[in-house]
Structure 1
Amino acid sequence: MEVILQEKDAGKWVYRGEGAANLVLAYSGSSPSFIGKVMRIRKAPRNGAEAMTIRSPSALTAHERLLWKDVHELISSPDSEIACQQFVDHVMKPLLGSKFVDAGMLVRVTREFLESVEKSVICQRPAWRVDNALVDMRRDSVLLLSDHSIFTHGNLGSSPCISVEIKPKCGFLPLSRFISEETAIKKRITRFQMHQALKLQQGEISLLSEYNPLDLFSGSQQRTFKAIKDIFTSPQNNFRVFMNGSLIFGGLGGGAQDTNFCIAKAFEDALKSVIRANDGLRTENLLTLVTEAVQKSGVLDRLLEVQKLDNVDIEGAIHAYYDMTNQRCMICRQLSQEQLKRYTSLHSASLDESLKIVKDYLIATSAKDCSFMICFRQRKEGDSGSVCSNIYLDSTKQTFDFKVYFIDLDLKRLTKMEEYYELDKKIVSCYKEMAKMDQGRDSQTCKHHKLRAVKLACVYARSYPSYKYSEFDKAKSILETVTSAQIRFFFHWSALFGHGLTDDLCWIPRSDHAFSSLLQCENDVKSSVCRTAPIQVQAKATSKITTSVVLNWYEIMVTMICEANAVSIIKVRKDDGWEKRFMSEL
C-alpha cells in the first residue's frame, strides 16, 4: 500500500537544516519505515521566482528535453522533484559510483502535512532563510533518503556515531582557452577563494577563509589535513559535524560563525564519548580521522573527475548555450572583431557538440556544488562482522568503521546559464578589486607591521634564551613573507593553556608542542587560548592594534588585528642584542 504522510505525521519530523532550495528534516518517531531516514522538502521563493509548474508530461523545458534526450526517465518526469531524483539516479550515480550515491525515493504528502511542517520549523530556521523562501505547498511528494549521519544497523546507544559533512567546492584551476585575458586570474586563483571576496563585500561572511580546495583534492595527506583544519576553522556553510544525527558543530540553515574559543571548547567537550584522548587533543584526532577517511575512500578522485567534465569554463559554455537554444549570442555582441576569433570554433560546432558542452558543464556544476558526508562509529573489540571500511587511529588506539556518501547532487537548470555567467564575472571583478586595494596597502603598512612583529620576537627571545640562532633565522625569514592581506585578516592557530603576566606580555609556558605568547595592551584586549583549538583574539577597543606571535620549533605565525585605520603604540621591552640583530637583517 502506498504511504501518504498526513498532518498527524508532521510532529515526528524535526528540522535538520536547509540549503537554497530544500529543507531537510530527520525522523524522530518509531515507525520502522522511517527510522534512519531524512526528508527533503522543496522550498518556494517568496518572490514567486521558479514557482513549481503543474504536473505535465515533463517538468523540463523543450530545450532541456533536447539536452537530456538520452535519459528517458529524466525527460519524462512530471514534476521537478521527480526530475531531480531521476537525475541523481541515472546521471550522477553512474558517474560517481553507486557505492557513494543514494538517489532516495519519493513519498506522497498532503498539503496539511506541509503546512504543519512549515509551522513547526519556522522558529528554528535562520531569519534570512525564512525571508527568502517558505515550504512549497503545491508539492504532493517529498524525497526520502537514508540518514547518512548515522549507521542504521547495530546498537546505536553503545557506539555513538559521529559524522562530518563537507562541501569541498571546485578542486581544480580551469585552463580553458576560452577564458579571456580580463578573467585570466581564474587560472591562478581558485573559484572558492575569489568568491570569498564577493561574499565578504556582500556581508555574507565576516572573515575570509584560509581554506583552499586544491589542498583537499591534492592527494597529499599533509595538504588534505591542512584543508580540513582550515575549513574547520572557518566553517561558513562548508563544514558541519553531527553526533548521532544531531548537529554539534556548524550552522543549521546557512553559514556558521568562525571557530572561536567558546565554540572550539564546546566541540572539544562534545567529542569525549567518541575520541579517547586528553583535553585539547580530541579535535585534532577527529580531523586526522577525517583526513584518513577522505584519502582511503578515494571519494575526491571520483568527484574531481566529474568536475573536470567542464573543460571549457562558463566563458565557453555560454556560447554553446546560445547556439543550442537558437538565440543570438549576447556575449559576442559586446566583443571586438579580434576578440570574436576566440569563440569562432564554438559557434561553428554542430548541435550535438554544443549540447555535449552544455550538458557536461551542468553536470560538472552539480559536482562542484555538492557535499559529502563521512560517518564514523567505533568498532568494539571482537567485532569482526562489519562489512564497512575501517580506519585504525594510532594516536588513540581505536578502530572506526566509516562510510561516505555524496549529498545535494541537484539538477542544475538550463535557464540558469546566463546567471552563472554573470556571477562568474562578478566574482572575478570583486576579487581583482580587492587584490588591487591590497597592493596599495602593501607599501604603506606591511613593513611597519613586520617591524612590530620582529620586536615581539626579540622580546620572546629574551624570555627563552635557550633558542638558538638558527631557530630565529627561520622565524625571521617567515616574517619577511607576511603580506598585508594576511595582516588584514585573522590567522587561526593552535595554542596551549597557560597563564601569568610579565609586564606587557601574557606568557604561555613551555610544552611538548609549542611555545606561545599573546600580547596584552593595557587590558584593552581580552584574549583566551584553548589547547590545540583554533581561536581568534578579538580587540575590545577599536583604537588598538593587537599583535600575536606564536613561536614553536617548526613555524612562526603573525596575527594582526586592525580596527578601522587606527594605530596605537605597542609597548615592548627592549633587548639590544636580539633587536639589533633582527632590525639590521631586515
Structure 2
Amino acid sequence: MSGSVSTCGTKDMVGELDEMMDNQWMAAVLGAKDAVEWIYRGEGAANLVLAYCGSAPKFVGKVLRIQKVPANGSECENGHSALTKLECILWGKFEGIVSAPTRETAEQLYVQKVMCPLLGSEHVDAGIHVLVSREFLEAVEKKVLGQRPSWRVDAAKVNPLCDSVLLIADHSKFPHGIFKEDFCVSVEIKPKGGFLPVSEFIAEENAVKKKIPRFKMHQLLKLHQGKIRKLSKYDPLDMFSGSKDRNNFRVFLNGSLAFGGMDGSADSASYTLDQAFLDGLKHIIVAKDGMHIKYFLELVAETIFKSGLLDRLLEVQKLDAIDIEGAIHAYYDIVSQPCMVCREKDGNKLLGRYSSLHSMPRDEKLKIVRDYLISSTAKDLSLMISFRSRGNNLESPYKVVFLESTKQTFDYKASFIDLDMKPLKKMEYYYKLDQQIVSFYVKMVKDKEAIDNGYRSQKDINKGKEGKVVASFDFFLSAGSVLPQNIPHCENVSEDVVLDLSTHGSNKITFHMFEHTIFL
C-alpha cells in the first residue's frame, strides 16, 4: 500500500472555532425550551455529549459536553470548586489556569494552554463555555434517559448544579456550507500508551513492565474483576509501530456496530457488515464491490502514519520519563507527606535511587509530577479523523491524503479529543493501580506456567489413553469473543470488548476490535 499526505492551506482547526477561541464564554443562556434541539450523541465516565439538531448558526455543527455526577451521590458538585492550593503551584506557569474561577474553566484552559501547544493547535479544540439553567439540565436528563444504557444510568446522572457546559465542534463532521458534497466518514481511535518504560526506578519484581504493554497487563486484571468479558488482542505498540497492517479498528454506522478488523475481506464475514455502512462507503471510496472496506481501512492507516499524528502524540506520552514508580516519590514531597513507598520498601536496594529523587529541588519535583499528569492525558485521549472525497474541489482549507489503491484524493481533518486534566490527588491511585496491575499479571503468568507444567506431566502419565487434559487458564488467556451485533451506541461499549469472528480453512478470517470507532 502506498500513498501520500500533504498540506493545503492549513489553518488552526481549519477556522472552525476561530470565532469561539477569542472568548472563553458565549453570551447565551440555554433554558428548558432549548433542550429539544439537543440530541444524545454518547457519553463517557465523566461527561454526557449532546449534538445540536436545530438551526441556530452559532450551534450548528457543535456538540455540548455536560458534566455528570455519581447517581448515588449528593448534589454537591457545582463546578465552583477551583484548583487546590497545590494544583495552583503545579500549574502556576500557565497563564490563566490558576486564576480560573471554577475547575471546569481551569480544565478548559488546561487544554488551551498546555495540550494545544504540545499536540498542535490545528488538532486541539478547547471549546468555549455556554451558560445553562438548571431547567435545561433537568430537561436534558429527562429527554435522553431512554437512550442511555442502563449501566450508565445506574452509575451517573447529569449534574443539575452546573451553571455552564462546554461547547465544542462536532469533529465527526465537516462544517456545512463549504462544498455541496457533505458526505463524510469519521474514525475515532483510542491509542492508549505507545511505549514501554525504561525507568531505573522500576523495582526488579516489576521488570515485566519493560517488556509487556500496560494495556495488555491491565486486561488480565479487568477480566478477573469482571469488568470485561474477554481479553482484547489490541496492542498499543502495534498502533505506534509505523506498520499499517498491525492495527485494529472498530467500525460503527450511526452508533451501531458495522465492521471490525484490518483484514478487509468482506465475503466470509458479510453477515457482520451493515449494508447501510457499505452503501455509505460507496460515496467515499471508488472501488469494485467487496473492496470498499479494504480500501477504506488503507485510507485510515495511510492518514495516521503519513500525517505523523501518532509521532507527536508519542512525544507527549514520553514526558512520563521515570514512570509512576519514580514520580510517586516527587509527589509525596510536593504534598509534604512521608513517602509511603520508601516506608514499604525499607531495605530495598532501590532506596539509594529513591533518595536522589527526594533530594531534588522542589521545581524539579513539580516538573516530574506535572509531566506525568500531562502524559496521562495523552495516554487516555482519543483521535478523531474525518474524511470526504475531494473530487473536483481543487481548493480546500483542509489537509489532503492521496490513496494510491483507488487513485483518489481525500480531504481529512484530525482532532485530539477527551483531553481531560488529571487531578493531582490521583497520583496515589495511579501508583496503587500500577502495582496491582503488575502484581496480578506476574501472578497469572506464574499460575499459567504451573498449569502448563501440570498439563505436560498429565499427558505423559496418560500417554496412550483416550481423552485429554484441558487447562482452564488457557481459555482465560485466550482473546476473542463474539460480540452482540446490535450495539445501541458506540460510546456505550466497554473499551476492552473484543470481536473475534473466525472461519476455518484456507479462508480463515479473524477480526479483532478495540475502542476505535467509525461514524457515518
TM-score for the superposition, normalised by structure 1: 0.71
Q: For the Cα contact (< 8 Å) 1:297–1:404, is it kept in 2?
A: no
| Equivalent in the alignment of 2:112 | 89
- Structure 1: any 5+ residue segments left out of the alignment? 252-259, 450-482, 493-533, 538-547, 560-586
Q: Alignment partner of 1:280: what SS? A: coil
Q: Which aligned pairs between 1:182-581 and structure 2 lie closer than 5 A?
A: 182-219=205-242, 223-227=243-247, 230=248, 232=249, 235=250, 241=252, 246-249=254-257, 262-266=271-275, 267-339=277-349, 340-381=351-392, 383-443=393-453, 488-490=478-480, 536-537=501-502, 549-551=504-506
Residues 248 and 391 (structure 1), Cα distance of their counterparts in 2 relative to 1, 3 Å cut: farther
| Equivalent in the alignment of 1:111 | 134
**Offset from partner CA, 1:221-251 (integer Å, 9 cap, x none):** xx23321xx3x2xx4xxxx646xxx434489
AA at the equivalent of 2:186:
S
Q: Give aligned pairs, total.
A: 447
AA at the equivalent of 1:439:
E
Shift of 1:487: 8.1
Residues 445 and 386 (structure 1), Cα distance of their counterparts in 2 relative to 1, 3 Å cut: farther
CA distance in 2, matches of 1:61, 1:208: 38
Q: Alignment partner of 1:314: what SS? A: helix
AA at the equivalent of 1:33:
K
Residues 283 and 250 (structure 1), Cα distance of their counterparts in 2 relative to 1, 3 Å cut: closer
Identity %: 52
Shift of 1:215: 1.4
Residues 278 and 433 (structure 1), Cα distance of their counterparts in 2 relative to 1, 3 Å cut: farther
Q: Alignment partner of 2:200: what SS? A: coil
- Aligned partner of 2:188 among 162, 165, 173: 165
**Offset from partner CA, 1:409-465 (integer Å, 9 cap, x none):** 01000011111111111211222233233323445669999xxxxxxxxxxxxxxxx
Q: Which aligned pairs between 1:110-149 and structure 2 lie closer than 5 A?
A: 110-149=133-172
Shift of 1:484: 5.1
Q: Alignment partner of 2:42: what SS? A: strand
**Offset from partner CA, 1:263-322 (integer Å, 9 cap, x none):** 435544553433333443222222111101101221111111110000011111111111
Shift of 1:558: 10
Task: Tell me if 1:22 matches 2:65.
Answer: no
Shift of 1:155: 6.2
CA distance in 1, matches of 2:148, 2:447: 37
Task: Tell me if 1:42 matches 2:67.
Answer: yes
Residues 434 and 53 (structure 1), Cα distance of their counterparts in 2 relative to 1, 3 Å cut: same
Q: For the Cα contact (< 8 Å) 1:173–1:189, is it kept in 2?
A: yes
Task: Tell me if 1:55 matches 2:65.
Answer: no
Residues 78 and 129 (structure 1), Cα distance of their counterparts in 2 relative to 1, 3 Å cut: same
CA distance in 1, matches of 2:148, 2:436: 29
User: C-alpha root-mean-square deviation of aligned residues, in Å?
Assistant: 3.0
- Structure 2: any 5+ residue segments left out of the alignment? 1-25, 260-268, 460-472, 483-498, 512-520
Shift of 1:46: 2.6
CA distance in 1, matches of 2:356, 2:74: 35
Q: For the Cα contact (< 8 Å) 2:75–2:159, is it kept in 1?
A: no
CA distance in 2, matches of 1:398, 1:319: 53
CA distance in 1, matches of 2:48, 2:443: 36
CA distance in 2, matches of 1:261, 1:365: 39
Residues 389 and 54 (structure 1), Cα distance of their counterparts in 2 relative to 1, 3 Å cut: closer
| Equivalent in the alignment of 1:521 | none
Q: Alignment partner of 2:336: what SS? A: coil
Residues 44 and 446 (structure 1), Cα distance of their counterparts in 2 relative to 1, 3 Å cut: farther
Q: Which has the higher contact order (CA 8 A, sep 6+)?
A: 2
CA distance in 1, matches of 2:338, 2:212: 32
Residues 368 and 54 (structure 1), Cα distance of their counterparts in 2 relative to 1, 3 Å cut: closer
TM-score for the superposition, normalised by structure 2: 0.79
Residues 425 and 84 (structure 1), Cα distance of their counterparts in 2 relative to 1, 3 Å cut: same
